[in-house]
Structure 1
Amino acid sequence: MKTIDLKSLQLEDLIDVFLELGEKKYRALQTFRWIHQKMVPSIDDITELPKILRDKLNENYLFSTLKVAKRLDSKYDETSKYLFILEDNNIIESVMMKHKHGITVCLSTQVGCRMGCEFCASTKNGLVRNLLPGEILEQFYLIQKDQGKNISNIVLMGSGEPLDNYENTIKFLRIIHSKEGQNLGHRHITISTCGIVPKIYDLAEEEMPINLSISLHSPFDEERKKIMPIANRYSIDKIIEACNYYIEKTNRRITFEYTLIRDVNDKLSDALEIVRLLNGMLCHVNLIPLNIIKEFEHEKSNNKAINNFKEILVKGGISTTIRKEMGADVNAACGQLRRDYINRETIN
């Protein structure tokens, strides 16, 4: 049974595969470049390899691929939402956003999610499985080929919790950063986590100065527990300690994502507690208007409340921005398009 995915292998591991096949080391380098620079869709397309070798690879190894099930383009901004079908017919989604500074893609790391955040569509059907490194990479490759332009930034903020799929996420990061592949700089990559504390410490030790984003959403433990089950395992103080360690090891600024929910976490007391909590920390707060889903009964804060919240944080010395809403007409928030697709298929 074929169990090893060639697209998911780092160069050193791919070299081991070729040596075990009795092939020369340079064949592994050729293959790696064709997979990760030329982004070929199959082993048969690696024409630099002899056909007999390609046949041997096809016979013994997997080669992860995705298919575009749907692409939706926003009428209001340069945002595109991609719905991908995996080889096992599971569904994931990615988002492409064009900014003045370049193209950013938001990639999924899992099929579904088990974190259970109340306001997030990604988690409503639970976790199905982790994505392989090759399946995370393929989202990037297919979007880059479809757009015909180089992607400059990655955020692992799509469906799933990246640190809950830690090993595959790290392999993805090392492959996308490889000079023999896309050679994407660590500082152009952001990981978003709801706060799996032990993995934040592990990430700090990886010597990859990537950007870390923490889904905070409340500065009070008891209130955070109501909307984020992960808060029952890791307190805010423990998350802050881990973040400070990450800053010390990487010298990278932490971003705290904060979804504003009307009459839940947008009060004066919330803003003042954030100021107290983050005082003196190398960090930034990104305020996010709530993306409304039918399973979550609350509404997003109004613009006045959002602006007032920002003003309090800025006056308190906390660098703060309000995230621009992009792709609202194409269900660009995490999990929305996938959930709608699954629901329609179930009904049909």
Structure 2
Amino acid sequence: MERTHHLPDIRTLSPKELSQVVSELGQPAFRAKQLNEWLFEKNVCSFEEMTNLPKAFREQLAEHFFFAVPTEVVKQVSKDGSRKYLLQFPDGVAVETVGMPSRNRLAVCISTQAGCNMGCAFCATGLAGLTRSLTAQEMVDQVVHVSRDLGERVTSVVFMGQGEPFANFNETVRALRMLNSEHGLNIGARHLTVSTCGIIPNIRAFADLPEQFTLAVSLHSAIQSTRNQLMPGVKKYTLVRLHEALQLYTEKTGRRPTYEFAMIEGINDTNPEMNALCDFCEGTLCHVNLIQLNDIPDSPFKPSPMKKVEELQRRLQMRGVETTIRNSRGSDIDAACGQLKQRKINVHLS
């Protein structure tokens, strides 16, 4: 099977190129439509599954192309039902993906990069730096993998796994469109959420997209010096400019950005920090997700006590800001926010 790596992934071909392949292999033109359906609507991962194509034709296709789908290296199942996967691509690069089923719904958290360059102090993913960015197809493949494993249709996707999506903007947008396409997984645009540390030029570009995709911003502090300490990778995008960019975003789109705020004991749960967050949000269209920081071994940071989280929620609500305290899914298998770092990887990969 080694030769397959030198073959192109058939899913990278455009409909026009697929039609060309069909005619070069001496097949009738309607086969191109069938191929398209198998590849992009049914999201199959092998030629054998294309049951309405002649066997000889499937064999020809297998000689010329392959599917660069990821292999599952490890799967862990949490007591809350969520599943974390370590998925490895044909070049050996691996990422983590999390599936979160709940009554009739299936949310998937995908990675946009292997590793991350942002260097956020409280996040395990950033500790190893960036290996490479993923392609749009590799992002979609994570969603398809979870859907197949759980035997359920995916109803929402959050781009909140490893990596900074806006540092891989074009492929992220392509993946969003593939997931949203009625010829693809057909997930509603509002159920596709991208989380950024706050890369301002791409927040502006995101605001210009015609689709109703959802924006989340990792805020974690509304005081500049604290945010610089926690999120050194976005130091140059100041809070003042971030605030302006988000105002512009809501004016252009009419949509409500979500702010992610992981509460860290003694760092961003103090009185001045809480006041600053309330000031940052008050009078703007936004929704704040409060999360107790998830524990990372050897980290100097500890989660805020729940009473502090509840106090901040009360303060925000008193100022008219929509706020939710988010329960972390999968923390017992290191699948929660900030915990994705492929702990098992060295054992399994040569």
State whether TM-score is above 0.5: yes
CA RMSD of aligned residues (A): 2.3
Find out whether 1:31 has 2:55 as its counterpart: no
Q: Which amino acid aligns with 1:273?
A: A
Q: 1:106 to 1:235 in 2, by over 3 A?
A: same
- State the match for 2:72 in structure 1: 68
Counterparts of 1:198-237 in structure 2, within 5 Å, are 198-237=201-240
Number of matched pairs: 342
User: Are 1:14 and 1:32, in contact at CA under 8 Å, matched by a contact in 2?
Assistant: no
User: What is the CA-CA distance between 1:138 and the residue it aligns to?
Assistant: 1.2
Higher relative contact order (CA 8 A, sep 6+): 1
User: What is the CA-CA distance between 1:287 and the residue it aligns to?
Assistant: 0.6
2:143 aligned residue (126, 129, 140): 140
Instruction: Quote the Cα distance in structure 2 between the aligned partners of 1:276 and 1:80.
Output: 37
- What per-residue deviation string (whole Å, max 9, x for no partner) do you get for residues 275-331 of structure 1? 211222111000111112135312111111111111111111111111112212111
TM-score, with normalisation over the residues of structure 1?
A: 0.90
2:317 aligned residue (314, 322, 328): 314
Find out whether 1:125 has 2:128 as its counterpart: yes
Counterparts of 1:132-281 in structure 2, within 5 Å, are 132-281=135-284
User: Are 2:328 and 2:337, in contact at CA under 8 Å, matched by a contact in 1?
Assistant: no
- What per-residue deviation string (whole Å, max 9, x for no partner) do you get for residues 151-194 of structure 1? 11110101111111111111111111111121111011110110
Q: 1:294 to 1:343 in 2, by over 3 A?
A: farther
User: What is the CA-CA distance between 1:27 and the residue it aligns to?
Assistant: 4.2
- State the match for 1:330 in structure 2: 333
Q: Which amino acid aligns with 2:41?
A: Q
User: Are 1:268 and 1:309, in contact at CA under 8 Å, matched by a contact in 2?
Assistant: no
User: Are 2:96 and 2:342, in contact at CA under 8 Å, matched by a contact in 1?
Assistant: no
Q: Which amino acid aligns with 1:88?
A: D
Q: Provide the identity percentage.
A: 36
Instruction: Quote the Cα distance in structure 2 between the aligned partners of 1:121 and 1:269.
Output: 27
Q: Which amino acid aligns with 1:17?
A: E
User: Are 1:115 and 1:123, in contact at CA under 8 Å, matched by a contact in 2?
Assistant: yes
Q: Which runs of 5+ in 2 are unaligned?
A: none
DSSP 3-state at the match of 2:343? helix
Counterparts of 1:265-304 in structure 2, within 5 Å, are 265-304=268-307
Instruction: Quote the Cα distance in structure 1 between the aligned partners of 2:301 and 2:82.
Output: 26
TM-score, with normalisation over the residues of structure 2?
A: 0.90
Q: 1:316 to 1:147 in 2, by over 3 A?
A: same
Q: 1:57 to 1:246 in 2, by over 3 A?
A: farther
Instruction: Quote the Cα distance in structure 2 between the aligned partners of 1:237 and 1:86.
Output: 40
Counterparts of 1:81-96 in structure 2, within 5 Å, are 81-96=84-99
Q: Which runs of 5+ in 1 are unaligned?
A: none
Instruction: Quote the Cα distance in structure 2 between the aligned partners of 1:151 and 1:109.
Output: 18
- State the match for 2:46 in structure 1: 42
DSSP 3-state at the match of 2:321? coil
Q: Which moved more, 1:38-47 or 1:155-164?
A: 38-47
Q: Which amino acid aligns with 2:16?
A: D
Q: 1:334 to 1:28 in 2, by over 3 A?
A: farther
Q: Which moved more, 1:334-343 or 1:285-294?
A: 334-343
Instruction: Quote the Cα distance in structure 2 between the aligned partners of 1:111 and 1:184.
Output: 24
Q: Which amino acid aligns with 1:271?
A: M
User: Are 2:162 and 2:340, in contact at CA under 8 Å, matched by a contact in 1?
Assistant: no
Instruction: Quote the Cα distance in structure 2 between the aligned partners of 1:283 and 1:55.
Output: 53
2:114 aligned residue (111, 115, 121): 111
- What per-residue deviation string (whole Å, max 9, x for no partner) do you get for residues 50-103 of structure 1? 55654555455452211112221112x121111212112222111111234611
Instruction: Quote the Cα distance in structure 2 between the aligned partners of 1:28 and 1:214.
Output: 41
Q: 1:68 to 1:239 in 2, by over 3 A?
A: same
